[in-house]
Structure 1
Protein backbone atom coordinates (compact mmCIF):
# COMPACT_ATOMS: atom_id res chain seq x y z
CA UNK A 1 0.00 0.00 0.00
CA UNK A 2 1.34 3.40 -0.97
CA UNK A 3 1.44 6.40 1.32
CA UNK A 4 0.88 8.67 -1.67
CA UNK A 5 -2.45 9.38 -3.30
CA UNK A 6 -3.08 10.85 -6.73
CA UNK A 7 -4.17 14.47 -6.75
CA UNK A 8 -7.86 15.13 -7.20
CA UNK A 9 -8.92 17.06 -10.29
CA UNK A 10 -8.49 20.78 -9.71
CA UNK A 11 -6.08 20.34 -6.80
CA UNK A 12 -3.00 20.86 -9.00
CA UNK A 13 -3.72 24.58 -9.15
CA UNK A 14 -3.95 24.72 -5.34
CA UNK A 15 -0.65 22.86 -5.01
CA UNK A 16 0.94 25.24 -7.52
CA UNK A 17 -0.45 28.27 -5.66
CA UNK A 18 0.74 26.93 -2.31
CA UNK A 19 4.21 26.29 -3.70
CA UNK A 20 4.39 29.80 -5.18
CA UNK A 21 3.22 31.33 -1.89
CA UNK A 22 5.82 29.42 0.12
CA UNK A 23 8.58 30.34 -2.34
CA UNK A 24 7.53 33.99 -2.38
CA UNK A 25 7.12 34.39 1.38
CA UNK A 26 8.31 31.22 3.10
CA UNK A 27 7.96 30.65 6.76
CA UNK A 28 10.51 33.36 7.52
CA UNK A 29 11.13 32.21 11.09
CA UNK A 30 12.17 28.70 10.07
CA UNK A 31 15.56 27.62 8.70
CA UNK A 32 13.83 26.66 5.43
CA UNK A 33 12.18 30.06 5.13
CA UNK A 34 15.37 31.97 5.93
CA UNK A 35 17.31 29.90 3.41
CA UNK A 36 14.72 30.60 0.70
CA UNK A 37 14.87 34.32 1.52
CA UNK A 38 18.68 34.25 1.14
CA UNK A 39 18.34 32.37 -2.15
CA UNK A 40 15.87 34.97 -3.48
CA UNK A 41 18.31 37.75 -2.54
CA UNK A 42 21.07 36.10 -4.59
CA UNK A 43 18.90 35.47 -7.65
CA UNK A 44 18.85 37.95 -10.50
CA UNK A 45 15.47 39.64 -11.10
CA UNK A 46 14.79 37.27 -14.02
CA UNK A 47 15.78 34.18 -11.98
CA UNK A 48 13.63 35.37 -9.07
CA UNK A 49 10.61 35.80 -11.35
CA UNK A 50 11.14 32.30 -12.82
CA UNK A 51 11.48 30.79 -9.36
CA UNK A 52 8.34 32.39 -7.98
CA UNK A 53 6.24 31.63 -11.05
CA UNK A 54 7.57 28.21 -12.03
CA UNK A 55 9.39 26.68 -9.06
CA UNK A 56 12.76 26.70 -10.82
CA UNK A 57 15.34 29.13 -12.15
CA UNK A 58 17.92 28.92 -14.89
CA UNK A 59 21.66 29.47 -14.48
CA UNK A 60 24.39 29.71 -17.12
CA UNK A 61 27.45 27.49 -16.76
CA UNK A 62 30.69 29.39 -16.24
CA UNK A 63 32.83 27.33 -18.65
CA UNK A 64 30.52 26.25 -21.47
CA UNK A 65 27.77 28.86 -21.36
CA UNK A 66 25.21 26.01 -21.29
CA UNK A 67 21.89 26.73 -19.62
CA UNK A 68 20.99 24.73 -16.52
CA UNK A 69 17.66 24.60 -14.73
CA UNK A 70 17.65 24.34 -10.92
CA UNK A 71 14.34 22.99 -9.65
CA UNK A 72 13.01 23.31 -6.11
CA UNK A 73 14.70 20.43 -4.31
CA UNK A 74 17.80 19.12 -2.58
CA UNK A 75 19.04 16.41 -4.96
CA UNK A 76 18.45 15.27 -8.53
CA UNK A 77 16.97 18.71 -9.11
CA UNK A 78 19.31 20.16 -11.75
CA UNK A 79 19.16 19.55 -15.46
CA UNK A 80 21.10 20.62 -18.53
CA UNK A 81 18.86 22.22 -21.15
CA UNK A 82 19.06 21.60 -24.88
CA UNK A 83 18.96 24.36 -27.49
CA UNK A 84 15.14 24.42 -27.32
CA UNK A 85 15.10 24.79 -23.54
CA UNK A 86 14.04 21.18 -22.83
CA UNK A 87 15.72 19.03 -20.16
CA UNK A 88 18.45 16.98 -21.82
CA UNK A 89 20.36 15.43 -18.92
CA UNK A 90 19.86 15.42 -15.16
CA UNK A 91 22.58 16.19 -12.64
CA UNK A 92 22.66 15.17 -8.99
CA UNK A 93 25.07 17.13 -6.82
CA UNK A 94 24.74 18.96 -3.52
CA UNK A 95 26.88 20.38 -0.73
CA UNK A 96 27.87 18.24 2.23
CA UNK A 97 25.65 18.48 5.29
CA UNK A 98 21.99 18.59 6.18
CA UNK A 99 21.23 22.06 4.83
CA UNK A 100 17.88 23.76 4.27
CA UNK A 101 16.58 23.59 0.72
CA UNK A 102 17.33 27.22 -0.17
CA UNK A 103 20.96 26.86 0.93
CA UNK A 104 21.38 23.74 -1.21
CA UNK A 105 19.91 25.49 -4.25
CA UNK A 106 22.06 28.58 -3.68
CA UNK A 107 25.18 26.40 -3.48
CA UNK A 108 24.14 24.69 -6.73
CA UNK A 109 23.61 28.06 -8.45
CA UNK A 110 26.98 29.41 -7.31
CA UNK A 111 28.78 26.19 -8.30
CA UNK A 112 27.28 26.20 -11.81
CA UNK A 113 27.97 29.89 -12.37
CA UNK A 114 31.55 29.85 -11.01
CA UNK A 115 32.99 26.31 -11.36
CA UNK A 116 30.94 24.37 -13.91
CA UNK A 117 33.81 21.99 -14.72
CA UNK A 118 34.06 20.83 -11.10
CA UNK A 119 30.29 20.32 -10.99
CA UNK A 120 30.45 18.10 -14.06
CA UNK A 121 33.28 16.06 -12.49
CA UNK A 122 31.42 15.32 -9.24
CA UNK A 123 27.78 15.23 -10.37
CA UNK A 124 25.99 11.97 -10.99
CA UNK A 125 24.30 12.15 -14.35
CA UNK A 126 20.99 10.55 -15.23
CA UNK A 127 18.64 10.59 -18.18
CA UNK A 128 15.70 12.90 -17.85
CA UNK A 129 13.40 10.14 -19.05
CA UNK A 130 13.97 8.41 -15.68
CA UNK A 131 12.93 11.53 -13.77
CA UNK A 132 10.13 13.97 -14.51
CA UNK A 133 11.24 17.59 -14.49
CA UNK A 134 8.59 20.27 -14.46
CA UNK A 135 8.82 22.31 -17.63
CA UNK A 136 6.21 24.95 -16.88
Structure 2
Protein backbone atom coordinates (compact mmCIF):
# COMPACT_ATOMS: atom_id res chain seq x y z
CA UNK A 1 0.00 0.00 0.00
CA UNK A 2 1.25 3.45 -0.90
CA UNK A 3 0.73 6.51 1.19
CA UNK A 4 0.82 9.84 -0.53
CA UNK A 5 1.36 13.08 1.20
CA UNK A 6 -0.58 16.06 -0.07
CA UNK A 7 1.66 18.93 -0.94
CA UNK A 8 0.41 22.45 -1.19
CA UNK A 9 0.38 23.97 -4.67
CA UNK A 10 2.56 26.81 -3.53
CA UNK A 11 5.44 24.59 -2.52
CA UNK A 12 5.95 22.82 -5.88
CA UNK A 13 7.23 25.10 -8.65
CA UNK A 14 6.90 22.39 -11.32
CA UNK A 15 3.23 21.88 -10.50
CA UNK A 16 2.64 25.64 -10.54
CA UNK A 17 4.35 25.88 -13.94
CA UNK A 18 2.29 22.99 -15.31
CA UNK A 19 -0.96 24.56 -14.08
CA UNK A 20 0.04 27.91 -15.63
CA UNK A 21 0.84 26.20 -18.94
CA UNK A 22 -2.50 24.37 -18.92
CA UNK A 23 -4.41 27.56 -18.05
CA UNK A 24 -2.65 29.41 -20.84
CA UNK A 25 -3.45 26.64 -23.33
CA UNK A 26 -7.15 26.65 -22.37
CA UNK A 27 -7.31 30.44 -22.58
CA UNK A 28 -5.79 30.42 -26.07
CA UNK A 29 -7.85 27.46 -27.30
CA UNK A 30 -11.51 28.05 -26.46
CA UNK A 31 -14.08 25.37 -27.35
CA UNK A 32 -15.02 27.09 -30.63
CA UNK A 33 -11.40 27.04 -31.84
CA UNK A 34 -10.90 23.39 -30.88
CA UNK A 35 -14.19 22.42 -32.55
CA UNK A 36 -13.26 24.24 -35.75
CA UNK A 37 -9.86 22.50 -35.85
CA UNK A 38 -11.49 19.09 -35.37
CA UNK A 39 -14.02 19.82 -38.11
CA UNK A 40 -11.25 20.83 -40.53
CA UNK A 41 -9.38 17.58 -39.78
CA UNK A 42 -12.46 15.56 -40.79
CA UNK A 43 -13.14 17.47 -44.01
CA UNK A 44 -11.88 16.13 -47.31
CA UNK A 45 -9.30 18.34 -49.05
CA UNK A 46 -12.01 19.64 -51.41
CA UNK A 47 -14.40 20.36 -48.53
CA UNK A 48 -11.64 22.11 -46.58
CA UNK A 49 -10.84 24.42 -49.52
CA UNK A 50 -14.55 25.17 -49.96
CA UNK A 51 -15.02 25.81 -46.23
CA UNK A 52 -11.99 28.09 -45.97
CA UNK A 53 -12.99 30.10 -49.06
CA UNK A 54 -16.78 30.24 -48.66
CA UNK A 55 -17.62 29.37 -45.05
CA UNK A 56 -19.57 26.26 -46.00
CA UNK A 57 -18.95 22.81 -47.48
CA UNK A 58 -20.96 20.28 -49.46
CA UNK A 59 -21.60 16.65 -48.55
CA UNK A 60 -23.27 13.83 -50.43
CA UNK A 61 -26.04 11.87 -48.76
CA UNK A 62 -25.32 8.20 -48.14
CA UNK A 63 -28.61 6.82 -49.52
CA UNK A 64 -29.93 9.18 -52.19
CA UNK A 65 -26.75 10.84 -53.42
CA UNK A 66 -28.37 14.25 -52.86
CA UNK A 67 -26.03 17.14 -52.17
CA UNK A 68 -26.27 19.12 -48.96
CA UNK A 69 -24.52 22.34 -48.06
CA UNK A 70 -23.54 22.73 -44.39
CA UNK A 71 -23.10 26.37 -43.50
CA UNK A 72 -21.41 27.86 -40.46
CA UNK A 73 -23.78 27.64 -37.50
CA UNK A 74 -25.71 25.28 -35.27
CA UNK A 75 -29.33 25.53 -36.42
CA UNK A 76 -31.04 25.87 -39.81
CA UNK A 77 -27.64 25.59 -41.44
CA UNK A 78 -28.13 22.54 -43.71
CA UNK A 79 -29.47 23.10 -47.20
CA UNK A 80 -30.29 20.52 -49.84
CA UNK A 81 -28.94 21.90 -53.11
CA UNK A 82 -29.64 21.15 -56.76
CA UNK A 83 -27.19 20.60 -59.62
CA UNK A 84 -26.72 24.38 -60.04
CA UNK A 85 -25.92 24.83 -56.35
CA UNK A 86 -29.25 26.50 -55.56
CA UNK A 87 -31.04 25.71 -52.31
CA UNK A 88 -34.06 23.41 -52.72
CA UNK A 89 -34.94 22.67 -49.10
CA UNK A 90 -33.61 23.51 -45.67
CA UNK A 91 -33.10 20.89 -42.97
CA UNK A 92 -32.73 21.51 -39.27
CA UNK A 93 -31.22 18.82 -37.04
CA UNK A 94 -28.81 19.19 -34.16
CA UNK A 95 -27.26 16.97 -31.48
CA UNK A 96 -29.24 16.53 -28.25
CA UNK A 97 -26.96 18.78 -26.22
CA UNK A 98 -25.45 22.18 -26.87
CA UNK A 99 -22.09 22.02 -28.65
CA UNK A 100 -19.74 24.43 -30.37
CA UNK A 101 -20.66 25.21 -33.98
CA UNK A 102 -17.76 23.18 -35.42
CA UNK A 103 -18.83 20.11 -33.43
CA UNK A 104 -22.45 20.47 -34.61
CA UNK A 105 -21.34 20.84 -38.23
CA UNK A 106 -19.12 17.75 -37.91
CA UNK A 107 -22.00 15.74 -36.44
CA UNK A 108 -24.24 16.87 -39.33
CA UNK A 109 -21.60 15.91 -41.90
CA UNK A 110 -21.10 12.44 -40.43
CA UNK A 111 -24.84 11.87 -40.06
CA UNK A 112 -25.61 12.76 -43.69
CA UNK A 113 -22.69 10.76 -45.05
CA UNK A 114 -23.46 7.63 -43.04
CA UNK A 115 -27.23 7.46 -42.35
CA UNK A 116 -28.97 10.11 -44.43
CA UNK A 117 -32.48 8.64 -44.28
CA UNK A 118 -32.53 8.29 -40.49
CA UNK A 119 -31.37 11.87 -40.06
CA UNK A 120 -33.90 13.28 -42.49
CA UNK A 121 -36.71 11.35 -40.79
CA UNK A 122 -35.91 13.30 -37.59
CA UNK A 123 -35.08 16.65 -39.16
CA UNK A 124 -37.41 19.61 -39.52
CA UNK A 125 -37.85 20.95 -43.05
CA UNK A 126 -37.98 24.63 -43.82
CA UNK A 127 -38.17 26.58 -47.07
CA UNK A 128 -34.77 28.04 -47.92
CA UNK A 129 -36.40 31.39 -48.73
CA UNK A 130 -36.75 31.98 -44.96
CA UNK A 131 -33.00 32.36 -44.49
TM bucket (normalised to shorter chain) is 0.7 to 0.9
Runs of 4+ in 1 over 3 A off after TM superposition: none
Matched, 1:94 2:124: no
Cα 1:28–1:104 shift into 2, 3 Å: farther
Distance in 1, Cα, partners of 2:128 & 2:105: 19
Cα 1:33–1:64 shift into 2, 3 Å: same
Aligned partner of 2:54 in structure 1 is 54
Structure with the bigger percentage of helix: 2
Q: What is the TM-score with the length of structure 2 in the denominator?
A: 0.78
The gaps in structure 2 that reach 5 residues or longer are 1-26
Deviations 1:8-55 (A, max 9, x none): xxxxxxxxxxxxxxxxxxx96100000000000000000000101000
The gaps in structure 1 that reach 5 residues or longer are 1-26, 132-136
Aligned partner of 1:41 in structure 2 is 41
Aligned partner of 2:77 in structure 1 is 77
* Displacement after TM superposition at 1:130 (Å): 1.2
* Displacement after TM superposition at 1:56 (Å): 0.2
CA contact (8 A) 1:28 1:34 kept: no
Distance in 2, Cα, partners of 1:126 & 1:98: 21
